[in-house]
Amino acid sequence: MFLSSTALWNTLMVSMLTVVHSQSDNPDTSSETGDKDPLWCQKQIGDIKLFEVFPGLGWDNLRNKEASQVVKYTFNKCKITDDGGYLIPDNVFTVPLKMSRVDSFAQIIDSWFNTSSLTSRTINVNAGLSFGVSSISGKFSREMEQMKAKQIENRASTVRVLLRHNRYEVKLQPHSTLSAQFKTSVHSLASRLELNQTEMAFYEAQLIVRDFGTHVLTSVTAGAALVKDDYIKRAYIASQSNQKTKILASASASFFGIFKFDSSYSQSTENSVDKSYSNSTTYSSITSLGGPLIFSSDMKIDQWAQAVDTNLVPMDRTGEPLHSVITPRRFPELPPAMVTEVAEYVRRAILIYYDMNVIPGCTVQGSREFSSFANFDDGSCTTTPTNTTFGGVYQTCTVSGRYLHTSPCSGMSHVNPKTGGHSCPQGYTGVNIYQGSKLGRQESSRTCRRCGFLRLSRCCKTNYYQARAYYKTYWCAALGPVHPHSGYRFGGVYTSTSVNLVTGNKGCPTNFKTQRLLADLTICLSDDFDLSTPFSIPFAGFFSCQRGNPLVLENKDPEPSNWPSRCPEGFSQHLATNIMGCAVHYCAESGALSGPTLPPVKRPPFMLKPTLPMESAETFDMYDMKIQTWMMGQEARNQLNETKIEAKTDAIVDEQDQNNSGPKIQSAALTLISMVCILLPALKYLNFDLTA
């Protein structure tokens, strides 16, 4: 039997994934793995509560939301907390916070941009990521979005009063075993890299971030809190700048007046709420995080604190970037170099997730350039934009390889509507912002003929076709004087996975037309300057990892190598799309992107599912019934011509579907190869009988 290295690798992948999936369908059960569950421990040691605040989960650090389980939990040791109060997993330990103090404080939050999460402050601040945009951590959480919306809507600052009682720190043991689901995802990504399926590897890395988040939780602080947020008019806060103590006293009095705690707890309850404070309050919200479910009107602070243990919730979280758990120690079945490469792909997927959600702009409320969408201050509050002109876009495409019916350039070649061709209007220069490739669909044609001794056999030949499209994307820049109405108005961009910041949906403003670019980008253009102007935004070019922006330079240098990868003064960069790790940005006037609703978080994957490449374009195979062996390619042809044996040929198609790929488990390789050598001839023989 003769099999290519790729075919053998695919066979190994299918076999290993079958084993992995059979285990992951019933994770952590006694019958499948021998591991004990919480119910077993509760039967052994009596009635004891299960501690429900665990580290080891995945964590989406943009949304402050728990993701799928990264670490495996077992209860073989029936561990309990040091105070005997709770049952905890084997790979977790707790540190009781033996303090009777209940923290209470009040603060003024002038801007949502400078606040921190109530329950995830540590992991947001110490994200463990080495790129600057990590400062947007937590900015898409429900808590943060509500504060931002209310501050902008009511032109208000937030006065927060908080009562908090922390009870435990729950920590994860180092080198804990990973969950079967997470390991399966890592194995699948490793197989893509081994098969040199780079685009699919990028895609699966983004799926890992989608499913398991950006981080893994290593420590959680458990407790409870009561929070009251008052939204006070900024004008009132400014008028009382020398009397902030008075503002905080009024907020505290309001808080303890609502909850009616014992007045002896704090002198602030003796103060009355200032009338001007009440009149300046535009909105108030009260949040209960854990603690007693039943609240009596005469409850005292110590009674509330004693009841906290009845309902513990996370009060703070600590974690590490998700790729940090992908190590050779945790994946000994994979080559160390492969593990390192997989971790790097996941790291890049996390970076892309952050990049896709950075919205630069002016974050200072009250500034003329203020953008309600911005979550990253780019220093554009004090700059003045200059007028620019936009001459349209176009894209060329060429084919490499053979295709049968469908050209891979279908839907990839786009003319500039302004010229009707792959060109720019007079006075504009085409700027090649990006060039890339896209693999076309697999196609095949099959021909058969009689062959062999007395032409009793049937020989078939299958030709496979798969071409690749190479495309170049251009935008038209005015590097010299042009007529002001010779170009287009710009109405934003969107993709299949992200909305247009101008409209808030996957569409263009009124009186704008769509123009496709790259593999999955739509640009909104209009040359109706009268009707489209109210819906357009000032535009100042594109730039990418491959090409800078010529509009940044005052002298409009025609040499591309001198173009900086940034926007002109007064403009903020916004991510249009990310192609295989290459970011493509567009420049819009600072403050132009604002609206009544905030843009939603963009979730991975940020690319369409790639087409898998074929191993070869043409196959010719023959089965020798006498020796029960399949022969491939030229050897099959030679054997047929020399011996004239009865033959039957058919194509072996390597199905490289993503669900049939997984890790190259070194320790099981010899066993699997033996299975392949035994089973494949039998399968081929059955196929011969069925088609004879």
Question: Measured between alpha carbons, how far is 606 from 577 in angstroms, rounded to an integer?
Answer: 8
Share of the chain above pLDDT 90, in %: 40
Higher pLDDT, 537 or 643: 537
Counting runs of H as helices and runs of E as strands, what totals does the chain give?
15, 28
Question: Measured between alpha carbons, how far is 669 from 378 in angstroms, rounded to an integer?
Answer: 53
Give the per-residue pLDDT at 45: 85
Residue 319 belongs to a domain = yes
Residue 55 belongs to a domain = yes
| Angle, CA of 649, 651 and 654, to the nearest 5° | 150
pLDDT tops 90 at residue 233: yes
Taking only the tens place, the pLDDT of each residue in 466-494 is: 999 999 999 999 888 888 778 899 999 99
Taking only the tens place, the pLDDT of each residue in 434-468 is: 999 999 988 889 888 888 877 878 888 888 899 99
Q: Pick from 175, 99, 103, 182: which is nearest to 329 by CA? A: 175
Taking only the tens place, the pLDDT of each residue in 400-424 is: 999 989 899 999 999 999 999 999 9
- Cα-Cα end-to-end distance for the chain: 21
Mean model confidence pLDDT for the chain: 80
Asked if 195 and 6 touch (Cβ cutoff 8 Å), the reply is yes
Asked if 369 and 380 touch (Cβ cutoff 8 Å), the reply is yes
Taking only the tens place, the pLDDT of each residue in 341-352 is: 999 999 999 999
Residue 98 belongs to a domain = yes
Asked if 172 and 217 touch (Cβ cutoff 8 Å), the reply is yes
Give the model's confidence band at 670: pLDDT under 50 very low, under 70 low, under 90 confident, else very high: very low
pLDDT tops 70 at residue 657: no
Residue 288 belongs to a domain = yes
What is the domain extent for residue 178? Answer: 40-185+214-326
Residue 252 belongs to a domain = yes
Give the per-residue pLDDT at 295: 65
Residue 438 belongs to a domain = no
Overall number of domains in the chain: 1
Residue 495 belongs to a domain = no
Residue 65 belongs to a domain = yes
